[in-house]
Structure formats: C-alpha cells, structure tokens
Structure 1
Amino acid sequence: MASETKRGLGKGFEALIPTDFDTSILTPEEERIQKLSISAIKPNPQQPRRHFDELALNELAESIKRHGLLQPVVVTPLGNDNTYVLIAGERRLRAAGKAGLSHLPAIVRTAKELEQLEIALVENVQRVDLSPLEQAASIGRLHDQFNLEYADIAKKLGKAPSTVQNIARLLGLSDEAKKALHESKITEGHARAILAVRDSGAQAELLDLIIKNGWSVRQAERYAVAYKKGIKKTESAQKRVSATTPETEALSKTLKTPVQIHRMAKGGRLEITFTSDSNLKQIVKRLLGK
C-alpha cells in the first residue's frame, strides 16, 4: 500500500484520476497558456466573493509591476466572439488592471473540460486508497480552481465541512512535515497538532520530538496546547508532556514497546503503548515475568 502511494505521488496528479478519463485536459499548463486581452475577460457572475481588499489588491498590483503576473488566470470561452468568463483568478485580474496591463496570461478550458476535471477531482477525494496529502491536493484544487467553498465541496463528498477543511489544512505543512506524513512517520492527527503551533521553528521542533520520542497524537496535542499557553521554550513544553529517562528507556527495552513518562505537580504516570490485543498480552506476560 505504501509503495503504491509513493508511486502515485511520483507520477503527479495524472496518477490519481480514473483510467478512462480524458487526460488531454491535463496537458502541462505552460503549454496551454495564452495571452488574452483583459477587456476580453468577463468576471464570473457565480463568483461567491463580493468584497476584495483594496490594500491587498494594490500590493499585488505593485508586485505585478515589478515581477509580472506569475500565475495565469483560468477562463472558459463565452460564445464565439473571442470573449471569456473568468473561472479562477479574479484578484489577479483586478490587480493586473490596476498595474496597467492590457494583456495577461490565461489558461483556456472549455466548459466540458472544467466539468470533467471537477468530476475527476471529486472522484479522487472519494477514493479510499488516497493518502491525506493526496486528498488535500484534490480538495485544494477544487477550492482554488473552481472557487468552491469548503461547504460546497463537503456536500459533493458527503463529508462534514470541518473534515474537509481539516484535510485541506494539511497543505500548510512544511515540506519536512509533508514528507514525514507521506512516509507514515507521523499521522494526520500529529500533522494537525503541528499546524496548531503557528511558529515555524516550534513546528519543526514538535515534528522532531514526535519522530524521535514516538509521541502519540495526544502527547503532540498537549505540547501544542502548552506552547500556545505561553510555554514557549521547548524544554518546558516537552517536560510537561513527557520525558525520556533511563527508567523509561530500560522499560521500553524490556517490554519491547514505547514507554513514556508524564510528569505532574506531584508524581506522574507511565504510558505503555500496545498495537493490538495480542501485543498487549505479550506486554503483560513480560511485566509478570512469564
């Protein structure tokens, strides 16, 4: 299963779509980009966003003046009079106008192509063999390319909106954390705990602690809570969650399973990890010296 997932990621998005899907619409975007007149592009009447931050638009316009428009907009033809309806990129379109551009790069997709691509993306997320990151990539594309709100995506997928948003948030992980999640060194629950810590340095520290100490999701969440409450130093937050001592190392070696110590104001408790009922029985036998 893990090797299949890795091969899928290696092939890119095309590896995630149904085999009978018309892959011609997935031609590399750089080969499909056209220069279109801004005046030929009409705003999408179904665009859910009605308010655009003027300050942010002005900042984007200045960036476009200096560097050009780096990401093309997505449009679909409107009739046969060389006009187009904007599908994605209204902020870029508005900012390009403010920057004084007369033309801008655009990817032209037909309505049929857009419908096919949306269906394929929805089918992707519903596949049971997709990794969390692959699901997040498909949800992100539905949100960004089709201007679909997470609530709308949730309806299409039959999932709760909060579930869809939590999956999409995985795209905010650092490259190191994404790699760890892909390689199953951490779980999706660990990833959410990492994202709860806003500081990138603290996120990297938490990732390291999870992998090195074999922390459970609960332990990672406690660390995140402790950090957000103001215990900024790693040593302080780590001490609140757990600590590796000669005693826990000896127990882990004897029981052949991770053992953690949780310190409290007075005393503490030991946490022994088991992976199955049979594993638990083996641990009990070792504890009893049988």
Structure 2
Amino acid sequence: MTAETKSTTYRKGKIHDISLDLLHRDVDQPRKHFDESELDALKKSIEDKGLLYPVLFRVDENGNNILVSGERRLRAFRSLGKETIPAMRIDSERYDEVALIDNIQRVDLSPVDESEAVFNLQSKYGHTQEQIGNLIGKAQNTVADILGLMKLSPEIREDARHRTELSRVALLKVARIKRPTVQRKAYDALVASLGIPKKEIKRPRLSVTKKAITSTNNTLKCIKSIDIEALGDDRDVVVSKLQELLQEIQNKLGSIGG
C-alpha cells in the first residue's frame, strides 16, 4: 500500500479502528515515564467503560502511522490483548504541540518530562514563555519554573524522571544550584529524605550547654569583627553597648564564686 493510499484511507477527523501493529511510537513523545499503577487503573477503566478518547496519529512522508498522543491507552490495549484501537488522524504540522497539550490534559506528566517537552517546543518554534503558557493553559511564571528544571544535570533529570514523589517545587530548588557537585549533593539529600518521616529529619534540639557555647562563640566572632575606629558617629553608641556587655559578663562570672 502506498503512502498516498494510506493517507486517503485514514481521513482527517474521522475515528478508525486501526491495528495496534500499524501504529508506531514517535521518538518525540513527551511522556518518557509510565507509572504502572496508572496503567493498571486505565486498563480497568477501559474494561469497565471502554475507551473514552481515541488515540491521535499522523501519517508521515513514508505513509507510516505515527502515534501523536495516547501511548498509555495503546499500551493498555496491548496488555488487554486487543488487536485494534479507535484512532483519529490529525493533519497538524505542529503535532508535537498537540501531543504535549493532550498529555498534560489527560494525566500530569512528570516534572522532568514536562520540562523537556516544553523546552523542545520553545527551541523548535521559538515560542515565548507567554505563548507556551497559552498553549498549555499555564501562567508565564509557571512556564518559567517548568523550564527552570532544564538546569538540572542530565543524570539528575534521568533519575528524577522515575521518582513520582519528587515535585517540581522541590526539584526547582536543586536546579537553582549552579555548581554541579553541590547540585548533586543537594539532589541526593532530597532523595534520601523521601523515605524518612518529617519528624525524624528535624534538627535535634540543642542542650542548654550547647546553646550557651554557640551563643558565646557567635558573640566573640561579632565583637572581633568590630572596627571601633571605622564607626564614625556611631562609635559612642557601640562603645556604650560593649561596656554594657562587659558589665553583664562580669556579673555572670561573679555569680560563679557565689
């Protein structure tokens, strides 16, 4: 069958039952990670209610049917042993925009998948953050945060892609760290904290003795950093405070003898 025949067979906007074997994965598919529990839930939904939305595909220059959106639905159909799936052809030059929008509207992409997909769109079409926001229904500052995750190293992005517990907010804090080694340490600490209840990772309370030592050390550092001669008009005020501090220290030391 020629490419032209395939194109006329699958009319744009019409739903066809297409063999699963005739639908090919797009290498630019925005979703890289597929949660197994979500797939199980989708399979149950399909078994109970059928497929509510057809998958979307395009026909490339060689007449191949390339899946634009609906890989989760396609995987669920394969797992259920089905041979065909309802599919609708789209003729959009910017099919990757359609794929991203559809994925975001169906089930949230992982923060990393979403960041990479938005970055690829921006690089390919020169979209502004505001234009991307209009496409995916998000505010410009949210788009900026999404793109901010691209500052994560490739190794961190690949690991974070599979960790559904990691939020965009948490990853963004790591992404803002510029030094690669420090960024990696911060990410490892974030991952390590995932399995520890918050009450167990709180900083331990200091004893009365440790608090006193810490306060004394901080006071000493502060006093040593003061340059009396460089204070100008405020010199007398600072000297008065130092004398007051000295008197308080003498009182404390005097109470020891008592």
TM-score of the aligned structures, taking structure 2 as reference length: 0.43
Larger RCO, structure (CA 8 Å, separation 6 or more): 2
Computing the radius of gyration from Cα coordinates, the structure with the larger value is: 2
Q: What is the TM-score with the length of structure 1 in the denominator?
A: 0.38
